[in-house]
Amino acid sequence: MSEEDEMIYRGRITFDVPVPLSVLDPETARQLTFFPVVPLYADSPEGRALAGVRGADEENGWAPTSIWYSSLGRLEAIARRHGRVLEPEATFDSDQRGRGRLVVDAGGRFHDCQEDEQPQRHYTRACSCFPTSAGSPTLFAVADVTADERITVRAVQAGPFTDYPVVCADHGDVACPTSEKEAVFRREAHIIEAHTARPLPLGRSGAEQALPPVVLGHLRAAADELRRGRSYAAPLAIAHRDAAREHARQAADELRCLSPSDPTETLLHLVAELLADTRPDA
Ligand SMILES: [Zn+2]
Ligand SMILES: [Zn+2]
């Protein structure tokens, strides 16, 4: 993997109307107080308000592109949520992508407009700033969509464009892609990241902690039988393999009795069944 691009935005990015801190999600506001942006505050009828941000100083404002983009994404989310218009007066300088200025399209999204480019193609999204799966069927492909009502994908009008916010009942805003396909992909990624009951018991110690002792006993016995079976020629090993499978089946039965509905137990159950199918020479 190549080293990540470093870049800097110089100048200011403000909202048309400052957003009072009293209505702003505190965590979002806090994240905009960190390098490489400096928050700009103003007075408003509702008290202190976030007017926008400015880039850090020339000497220390260079940061990985992903860090800058996450700050810009937070500003977009605030503008979307509170009905503000973003007004950037900022130029960018990037090791890999050269120089230009920051512009906002008619749907409230930031674009890096290169020095020699017409901003118009960004305003209308006739550019290539957003990843699209049009040229790559595998990009954002999801074979199985998880049924989980807590995490929703909606279509929301944003100027002449459509946004696809992914919102979780437990975790709030997850992402807001510009295509439905990417939104479904981000939803699945969030489910794997934040809604997996317990990590898979990878490795011996994880499995030993996760498995009930009675089940673990059977699995250990199965493993012993398989080990013994390897010392014999295949026909003689059959008895050991069968004994191993019997232990694995009992382990699966124990799991089924202990908790038939818990997803983690179901998973462990599957592990036990896989062991039941393991051959000594596998
Ligand atoms: Zn663009
Ligand atoms: Zn969630």
Instruction: Give the DSSP letter string of 182-233.
Output: HHHHHHHHHHHHH--SS----HHHHHHHHS-HHHHHHHHHHHHHHHHHHTS-
Q: Distance from the CA of 121 to the center of ligand 1, in angstroms? A: 7
Residue 264 pLDDT > 70: no
Residue 173 pLDDT > 60: yes
Nearest alpha carbon to residue 176 among 74, 84, 82, 83: 74
Q: Distance from the CA of 136 to the center of ligand 2, in angstroms? A: 28
- Point out the ligand nearest to the CA of residue 192: 2
- Point out the ligand nearest to the CA of residue 131: 1
Residue 138 and residue 196: Cα distance in Å, rounded? Answer: 24
Residue 282 pLDDT > 50: no
Residue 223 pLDDT > 90: no
Q: Distance from the CA of 185 to the center of ligand 2, in angstroms? A: 14
Q: Distance from the CA of 174 to the center of ligand 2, in angstroms? A: 7
Q: What angle do CA 235, 238, 243 make, to 5 degrees?
A: 165
For the stretch 109-167, pLDDT in tens is 999 999 999 999 999 999 989 877 777 777 888 877 888 999 999 999 999 999 999 99
Residue 229 and residue 236: Cα distance in Å, rounded? Answer: 8
Q: Which residues surround ligand 1, an ion (CB under 5 A)?
A: 111, 122, 127, 129
pTM for this entry = 0.68
Residue 190 pLDDT > 60: yes
Q: Which pLDDT value is given to residue 139?
A: 82
Q: Which residue type sits at 36?
A: P
Q: Distance from the CA of 166 to the center of ligand 2, in angstroms? A: 10
Q: Which pLDDT value is given to residue 243?
A: 83
- Point out the ligand nearest to the CA of residue 110: 1
Q: Distance from the CA of 49 to the center of ligand 1, in angstroms? A: 29
For the stretch 224-244, pLDDT in tens is 887 887 777 666 677 777 788
Q: Distance from the CA of 150 to the center of ligand 2, in angstroms? A: 7
Q: Which pLDDT value is given to residue 251?
A: 85
Nearest alpha carbon to residue 84 among 11, 158, 179: 158
- Point out the ligand nearest to the CA of residue 112: 1
